[in-house]
Amino acid sequence: MVREFAARQGSALRSLALVVGALATAAAVALGAVLAVFFAATIVVIALMSSALLALAGLAMRARRSARVRATRDGLMEARHIGGHHWVAYGWNERA
């Protein structure tokens, strides 16, 4: 008797629950798709920034290898004291 009463009384609520459940599922799928695109774009931006960083590091290492310090016979640069805490070094920016 309880089953028959529940079957007769719950039919409208069941169909309403199915419609609401389908709408909630569609909303969850749409939100998941938007979040997937957002996080994929985030990964692409991180990859671009890291590749730019690696390129700049490579250029810095290349510049560091090509720059040579002009040294005297003792291996020291010439520097002159011009007063206070100020010194001027000569020959460090010229190639040997």
CA dist., res. 27 & res. 35, Å (int): 12
Q: How many domains does one find in the chain?
A: 1
pLDDT tens for 73-90 read 555 667 788 888 888 877
Radius of gyration of the chain (CA): 36
Q: Rounded mean pLDDT of the chain?
A: 81
Q: Is residue 61 part of a domain?
A: yes
Q: What integer pLDDT is reported at residue 69 of this predicted model? A: 53
Q: Is residue 31 part of a domain?
A: yes
- Tally the C-alpha atoms within 13 A of residue 14's C-alpha that lie toward its C-beta: 6
Q: Is residue 64 part of a domain?
A: yes
Q: What integer pLDDT is reported at residue 23 of this predicted model? A: 96
Q: What integer pLDDT is reported at residue 95 of this predicted model? A: 55
Q: Is residue 81 part of a domain?
A: no
pLDDT tens for 19-63 read 999 999 999 999 999 999 999 999 999 999 999 999 999 999 888
For residue 19, the enclosing domain spans 2-68
Q: What integer pLDDT is reported at residue 15 of this predicted model? A: 81
